């Protein structure tokens, strides 16, 4: 297929598009593509996801079930576990996980497996766009050599680019369609084709000079948040030493109309972006002889927050002449952020595990997570009630879900450690910040 033919198919929406990885980034992207008139095939190794998509049932809160069901019914979107579907695709977006190994080194196994699967079905004229968060150089140094083993060359036989996903789960204002898309290709022709494609279903595309630049943009965004959250966490610990309310300080500081952006402390970082992205960048920087001291210090500070939270619980109980060992605790919210079902890298899990390891009897309540595995223990979510709150020694707010009844929590809990300032509108001596 010639470049001109691919361009025409993209413009008239006759191009067959594919998305590998139907998670928090991949499924919304596939749905937006289909919503704008493309035929889309989602590929995922998880059979449950495939079955759910083909049945029109959404497992991602940001994807409305009615929208997905209608697109499936119209034949605009389907899912499969078979990579042979790549044969019929004109463009493929790779949205697979990029976790950290136990050594904190990048784990690119999902990217490598996807690239190798595409290579087995690579025919002239296909466009491949990597969206997974990764270090600068991955597209050119890892994905490109795998694909070129097919005998085709990037910019001639196929086209390769990088465009980082910018999904913010639970955000109803900024969605896949209206969040600007940063993009950079291996060659100028790769950039032009990828830009043309994404402009069909994204309102604004920002084209950069290379895939490395696009990869670095994502890591700057993640690291910016990591560093500033670390500053907020450092202030929280410092203010406790001074017996000052850190939330009052932040609220006052953000009244300044310039030169300040509010970030907030918490029990630690979570999700697959802010805790992971800076680690990818640090790893690559060290390989190139650069010591990213600020980035690594921020990661270290954020990593200390779960243990700090555990110590706060112990201190709070101690003021009431209770021991952490043997106390009954209630963790409120275990997801990494409010109003989502994602527990990946959630600091709340580390807090719960740490409390249990110190002998506490821990229950939890989270409307988005019905069951939780902590080591060998399997916990079930509890429905919030006055009876439950009265039965515990301390309630610990780890995630501030909007569905929680904070009036009831404030009224019936004997002691509350509020890690999210969720009870800021309640004046109550039981509430500890």
Looking at residue 428, its pLDDT comes to: 67
Shared domain check, 274 and 198: no
Provide the residue-wise pLDDT of the chain in tens; the chain has 433 residues.
Answer: 688 999 999 999 999 999 999 999 999 999 999 999 999 999 999 999 999 999 999 999 899 999 999 999 999 999 999 999 999 999 999 999 999 998 889 999 999 999 999 999 999 999 999 999 999 999 999 999 999 999 999 999 999 999 999 988 888 899 999 999 999 999 999 999 999 999 999 999 999 999 999 999 999 999 999 999 999 999 999 999 999 999 999 999 999 999 999 999 999 999 888 999 999 999 999 999 999 999 999 999 999 999 999 999 999 999 999 999 999 999 999 999 999 999 999 999 999 999 999 999 999 999 999 999 999 999 999 999 999 999 999 999 999 999 999 999 999 999 999 999 999 888 666 677 6
291-335 confidence digits (pLDDT tens): 999 999 999 999 999 999 999 999 999 999 999 999 999 999 999
Query: Do 163 and 183 contact (CB within 8 A), yes or no?
Result: yes
Kindly state whether residues 34 and 150 are assigned to the same domain.
Answer: yes
Quickly count: other Cβ atoms within 10 Å of residue 100's Cβ.
Answer: 16
Residue corresponding to tokens 């996903």: 165
pLDDT of residue 432: 75
Write down which residue in 212, 229, 262 finishes a domain.
212
In angstroms, what CA-CA distances link 192 with 7, 196, 217, 235, 321?
A: 10, 6, 19, 45, 67
Residue that is last in its domain, among 194, 212, 230:
212
pLDDT of residue 309: 96
Task: Give the pLDDT confidence score for residue 254 in this predicted structure.
Answer: 97
Domain co-membership, 383 together with 335:
yes
Is residue 294 domain-shared with residue 203, that is, in the same domain?
no
* SS3 at position 323: coil
Segments of 168-215 assigned E as strands: 181-185, 205-207
What pLDDT sits at residue 272? Answer: 82
* Residue 200 and residue 251 in one domain: no
97 located within any domain: yes
Separation CA 102–CA 176 (nearest Å): 31
Are 198 and 291 in the same domain? no
Instruction: Tell me the three-class secondary structure of 332-348, residue by residue.
Output: ECCCCCCCCCCCCCCHH
How is residue 264 annotated by DSSP?
Answer: -
Last residue in a domain, options 212, 234, 268: 212
- Classified as helix, coil or strand, 80 is strand
- Give the DSSP letter string of 383-408: PP-HHHHHHSSEEEESS--TTS-HHH
Looking at residue 427, what is its pLDDT? Answer: 67
Is 424 inside any structural domain? yes
Q: What is the pLDDT of residue 430?
A: 67
Residue 237 included in any domain: no
Please tell me whether residues 206 and 262 are part of one structural domain.
no
Q: Could you tell me the pTM of the whole model?
A: 0.93
Are 260 and 349 in a shared domain?
yes
Assess whether 193 and 289 both reside in one domain.
no
CA separation, residue 21 to residues 44, 95, 159 (Å) = 5, 5, 20
367-406 pLDDT, tens digit per residue, is: 999 999 999 999 999 999 999 999 999 999 999 999 999 9
What residues are paired with 207 via a beta bridge? Answer: 183
pLDDT at 102: 85
Q: How many domains does the chain have?
A: 2
Domain annotation covers residue 231: no
In Å, how far are 53, 347, 365, 366, 398 from 383, measured between CA atoms? 29, 22, 6, 8, 16
d(CA 93, CA 262): 34
Same domain flag for 281 and 184: no
271 and 205 share a domain? no
Cα distance between residue 414 and residue 428, in whole Å: 11
Is residue 258 included in any domain, yes or no?
yes
R_g of the chain computed on alpha carbons: 24
Burial class (CB in 10 A: 0-12, 13-18, 19+), 115: buried
- For the record, the structure tokens of 283 come out as 């790893």
Please give the residue range of the domain that contains residue 33. 3-212
User: DSSP characters for 268-310?
Assistant: ---SSSTTTHHHHHHHHHHHTT---HHHHHHHHHHHTHHHHHH
Looking at the domain assignment, is residue 143 inside a domain?
A: yes
Q: How far apart are CA 50 and CA 65, in angstroms?
A: 15
User: What's the confidence (pLDDT) of residue 433?
Assistant: 65
Q: Which residues contact 392 (CB under 8 A, 6 or more apart)?
A: 328, 329, 330, 363, 413, 414
Residue 74 φ/ψ region, left for φ over 0, alpha for ψ in the -120 to 50 degree band, beta for the rest: alpha
Residues 285, 139 within the same domain: no
Tell me how far apart the alpha carbons of residues 385 and 409 are, in angstroms, rounded to a whole number: 8
- Whether 238 is covered by a domain: the verdict is no
Is residue 240 in some structural domain? no
CATH number (domain holding residue 343): 3.40.50.720
Classify 207 as helix, strand or coil: strand
């Amino acid at each position: 297929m010639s470049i001109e033919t691919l361009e025409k198919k993209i413009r008239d929406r006759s191009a067959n598009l594919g998305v590998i990885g139907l998670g928090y980034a991949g499924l919304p992207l596939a749905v937006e593509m289909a919503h704008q008139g493309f035929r889309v095939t989602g590929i995922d190794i998880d059979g449950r996801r495939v079955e759910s998509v083909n049945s029109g049932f959404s497992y991602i809160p940001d994807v409305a079930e009615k929208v997905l069901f209608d697109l499936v019914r119209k034949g605009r979107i389907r899912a499969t576990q078979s990579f042979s579907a790549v044969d019929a695709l004109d463009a493929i977006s790779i949205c697979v996980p990029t976790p950290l190994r136990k050594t904190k080194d990048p784990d690119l196994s999902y990217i490598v497996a996807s690239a190798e699967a595409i290579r087995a079905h690579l025919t002239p004229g296909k466009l491949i766009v990597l969206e997974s968060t990764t270090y600068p150089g991955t597209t050119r140094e890892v994905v490109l050599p795998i694909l070129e083993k097919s005998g085709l060359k990037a910019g001639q036989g196929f086209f390769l680019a990088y465009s980082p996903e910018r999904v913010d789960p639970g955000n109803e204002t900024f969605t896949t369609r209206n969040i600007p898309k940063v993009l950079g290709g291996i060659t100028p022709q790769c950039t032009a084709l990828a830009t043309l494609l994404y402009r069909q279903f994204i309102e604004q595309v920002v084209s950069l000079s290379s895939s490395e630049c696009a990869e670095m943009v994502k890591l700057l965004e993640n690291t910016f948040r990591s560093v500033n959250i670390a500053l907020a966490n450092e202030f929280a610990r410092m203010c406790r030493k001074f017996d000052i309310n850190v939330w009052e300080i932040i609220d006052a500081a953000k009244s300044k109309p310039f030169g300040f952006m509010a970030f907030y402390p918490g029990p630690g970082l979570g999700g697959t972006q802010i805790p992971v992205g800076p680690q990818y960048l640090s790893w690559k920087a060290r390989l190139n002889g650069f010591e990213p001291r600020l980035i690594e210090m921020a990661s270290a500070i954020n990593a200390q927050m779960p243990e700090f939270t555990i110590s706060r619980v112990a201190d709070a109980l101690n003021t009431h002449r209770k021991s952490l060992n043997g106390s009954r605790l209630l963790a409120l919210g275990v997801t990494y952020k409010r109003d989502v079902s994602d527990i990946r890298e959630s600091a709340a899990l580390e807090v719960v595990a740490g409390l249990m390891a110190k002998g506490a009897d821990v229950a939890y309540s989270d409307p988005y997570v019905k069951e939780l595995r902590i080591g060998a223990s399997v916990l079930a979510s509890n429905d919030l009630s006055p009876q439950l709150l009265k039965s515990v020694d301390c309630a610990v707010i780890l995630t501030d879900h909007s569905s929680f009844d904070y009036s009831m929590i404030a009224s019936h809990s004997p002691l509350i450690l509020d890690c999210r300032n969720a009870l800021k509108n309640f004046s109550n001596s039981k509430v500890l910040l």
